Amino acid sequence: MRLSRFHLHTTKETPADAELASHRLMLRAGMIRKLAAGLYTWSPLGLRVLRKVEAVVREEMDRAGAIELQLPTIQPKELWEETGRWEKFGGQLLKIRDRKEAEYCYSPTAEEAVTDFARQELGSYKQLPVNFYQIHTKFRDEIRPRFGVMRAREFLMKDAYSFHVSDADLAREYENMKAAYTRVFTRLGLRFRAVQADSGAIGGDASQEFHVLADSGEDALAFSTGSDYAANVEAAQAAEPPPRPAAAEALRKVDTPTQKTCEDVAALMGIALQRTVKSVAVMGTGGFVLALVRGDHTVNEIKLGKVAGLADYRPATEAEIAQHLGSEPGFLGPVGPKAPIKVVADREVAAMADFVVGANERGFHLAGVNWGRDLPEPDLVADIRNVVEGDRAADGGEIRLARGIEVGHVFQLGRKYSEAMGFTVLDETGKAAVPAMGCYGIGVSRIVAAAIEQNHDEAGIVWPVPMAPWAVAVCVINPKKDAAVDAAAEALLADLQAAGLDAVLDDRGLRPGAMFADIELIGIPHRVVVSERGLAAGTFEYRARTATEAESLDRAQLLEKLRG
């Protein structure tokens, strides 16, 4: 490949709306161009990277025994109604009417379509297990598309769906997919972690996310220093707190005229924030609920939503609060409500003694509060908070937080879709059985952006070799001036290609500074310069993208270095 016959178009400007480094750098490198909000053209340069990622994903899916097919991007409403998702999926589902007014959507995922295929194709347990996958365009009508291809509306996704006669076999394939994903991200040269995800109604070990680690990541992840434990903060659990100490203080009313937050109250009283309790008023199916977390903690909405009766909870209104507690926000607490309420305490709160809560009276808090003495034991004790840095982990280690970009998700779906769509196979005894399903996604186009978030510097992108548009750039100084230089560059290109290296010749004839800036910006891992002076000395100037200095190498040294 010669850059003079390729289309490379780098720019210096950074668009104002590009907040993330990956977005800016993909635009500056000319990898993508915006067509409309959340819709990007992949330029020849960008597509080379995307295809490399796609190829690794495909190879590892094939190696894992999954079988590729392709489902239509446009799918009929009737199918989505079978599972109730036509309504439930929400605004991200792009709904379409055709010329005959029939309704369709642009597939954001394909559980329904693949289950429809499966129920036409699979009739016997003998045909299971099977894992179908596709690598195909998806669309999610993001309300605020941004960050370039990180959160585009149209994107490339690998989605796989497996079918099993038993939960045990589903669990086996789930592990098989986790291993395949680990191979994918390892081969791509990315620093990543598999973390426990919120597993919704299924519980247990049934859902894990794969995150590329990057400070700019949208997700907070929790790791333990004591083991492999890692989880999305949405799902991360700390260790059980130590047992509740005995009450030592008497209940007393504290004057807090303008102190409405735990922070302000603790500061006024000169006590640690950890001694205070935050009261969050919500409405569940059973009525008014007061959720309590320690003053330095925050409520984890997903965990709270798993409490019985709170699956679809909403914040209580001021009127509802006044009705149940007789007070206004800022001074709420679980002691002496006006009307019956339910109290859900975080495990940490349930283990506290002598704590501080709102007095349900404007301008006052209560201190020295103790369970069983000043108020009844909580109606329910549960883990309803977000973990924080320094929490003790269940394995005895300490919780550390990091940020990540979700690029993969594996999920044991169970029988949710197969049951809703009436998909059965005959089991060994000849009876109809509903297969268990797993689903496994990889955000192929998102990986490109995530890799850049993780790997860039002031000069531009720093690709891991497996994702780079080319592994090596052979830069010719003053091409078409000196036939010997051109010939040496061509010969080197041929040598590199013969050695299995994906090399490109920069024969565009730019000034060296501009040429080198381009090659750095687009993140080529290895740069080799062919010049008249080097040729006279029998050497090439070599510089790794990550190195600060160039070195002079002869052909043999260079090939040895690049073959790695």
State which of residues 111, 116, 173, 348 lies at the interface with its own copies (CB under 8 A): 116
| Dihedral (CA of 297, 303, 308, 312) sign | positive
Q: What are φ and ψ of residue 320, in 5° steps?
A: -65, -40
Q: Are strands 130-139 and 67-68 parallel, antiparallel or unpaired?
A: parallel
- Contact flag: residue 40 with its own copies (CB under 8 A): yes
Instruction: Decide if 132 contacts 160 (C-beta within 8 A).
Output: yes
- Contact flag: residue 512 with its own copies (CB under 8 A): no
- Contact flag: residue 70 with its own copies (CB under 8 A): yes
Instruction: Decide if 284 contacts 309 (C-beta within 8 A).
Output: yes
What character string, x for contact with its own copies (CB under 8 A) and - otherwise, covers 138-157?
Answer: -x-x-x---------xx---
124, β-bridge pairs: 426
Q: Which residues have C-beta within 8 Å of that of residue 502, sequence separation ≥ 6? A: 468, 470, 471, 472
Of 444, 515, 518, nearest to 150 by C-alpha is: 444
Smallest distance from its own copies to CB 105, Å: 10
> Closer to its own copies at the Cβ: 52 or 211?
52
> Closer to its own copies at the Cβ: 35 or 308?
35
- Contact flag: residue 42 with its own copies (CB under 8 A): yes
Does an H or E element contain 366, and which? strand 364-369
Cis peptide bond prior to 512, omega within 30° of 0: no
d(C-alpha 418, C-alpha 525), whole Å: 47
Stretch that binds its own copies, among 45-53, 410-418, 474-482, 511-519 (CB under 8 A): 45-53
> Closer to its own copies at the Cβ: 288 or 440?
440
Does an H or E element contain 470, and which? none
- Cβ neighbour number for residue 261 with a 10 Å cutoff: 13
State which of residues 19, 59, 89, 117 lies at the interface with its own copies (CB under 8 A): 117
- Contact flag: residue 68 with its own copies (CB under 8 A): yes
d(C-alpha 319, C-alpha 116), whole Å: 48
Smallest distance from its own copies to CB 520, Å: 21
What character string, x for contact with its own copies (CB under 8 A) and - otherwise, covers 332-371?
Answer: ----------------------------------------
- Contact flag: residue 67 with its own copies (CB under 8 A): yes
Question: Is 451 strand, coil or helix?
Answer: helix
> Closer to its own copies at the Cβ: 51 or 362?
51
- Contact flag: residue 36 with its own copies (CB under 8 A): yes
State which of residues 94, 171, 302, 544 lies at the interface with its own copies (CB under 8 A): 94
Smallest distance from its own copies to CB 294, Å: 39
- Contact flag: residue 498 with its own copies (CB under 8 A): no
d(C-alpha 511, C-alpha 101), whole Å: 58
Smallest distance from its own copies to CB 508, Å: 10
State which of residues 26, 61, 71, 280 lies at the interface with its own copies (CB under 8 A): 71
- Contact flag: residue 69 with its own copies (CB under 8 A): yes
State which of residues 72, 336, 396, 422 lies at the interface with its own copies (CB under 8 A): 72
Q: What angle do CA 100, 101, 103 make, to 5 degrees?
A: 120
State which of residues 47, 171, 302, 535 lies at the interface with its own copies (CB under 8 A): 47
- Look up residue 484 and give its amino acid: A
- Contact flag: residue 124 with its own copies (CB under 8 A): no
Smallest distance from its own copies to CB 436, Å: 18
d(C-alpha 318, C-alpha 312), whole Å: 19
Of 170, 172, 155, nearest to 441 by C-alpha is: 155
Q: Residues touching its own copies: how many (CB under 8 A)?
A: 54
What DSSP letter does each residue of 229-273 carry, written as one string?
A: -EEETTT--PPPPPPPPPP-S--EEEE-SS--SHHHHHHHHT--G
The Cβ-side half-sphere exposure at 57, using a 13 Å CA radius, reads 28
Smallest distance from its own copies to CB 5, Å: 6
First to last CA, the chain: 22
- For the chain, what's the residue count? 564
Smallest distance from its own copies to CB 120, Å: 5
State which of residues 121, 240, 389, 395 lies at the interface with its own copies (CB under 8 A): 121
- Contact flag: residue 426 with its own copies (CB under 8 A): no
Cis peptide bond prior to 466, omega within 30° of 0: no
- Contact flag: residue 201 with its own copies (CB under 8 A): no
- Contact flag: residue 91 with its own copies (CB under 8 A): yes
Instruction: Decide if 346 contacts 383 (C-beta within 8 A).
Output: yes
- Contact flag: residue 75 with its own copies (CB under 8 A): yes
The two tokens of residue 184 are: 């994918």
- Contact flag: residue 73 with its own copies (CB under 8 A): yes
d(C-alpha 89, C-alpha 511), whole Å: 53
Smallest distance from its own copies to CB 37, Å: 8
- Contact flag: residue 16 with its own copies (CB under 8 A): no
Smallest distance from its own copies to CB 44, Å: 5
> Closer to its own copies at the Cβ: 30 or 333?
30
Stretch that binds its own copies, among 109-117, 237-245, 383-391, 544-552 (CB under 8 A): 109-117
d(C-alpha 240, C-alpha 263), whole Å: 24
Binding residues for its own copies, rule: CB under 8 A, are 5-7, 9, 30, 33, 35-37, 39-44, 46-47, 50, 65, 67-76, 78-79, 91, 94, 96, 98-99, 102, 104, 106, 113, 116-117, 120-121, 127, 130, 132, 136-137, 139, 141, 143, 153-154
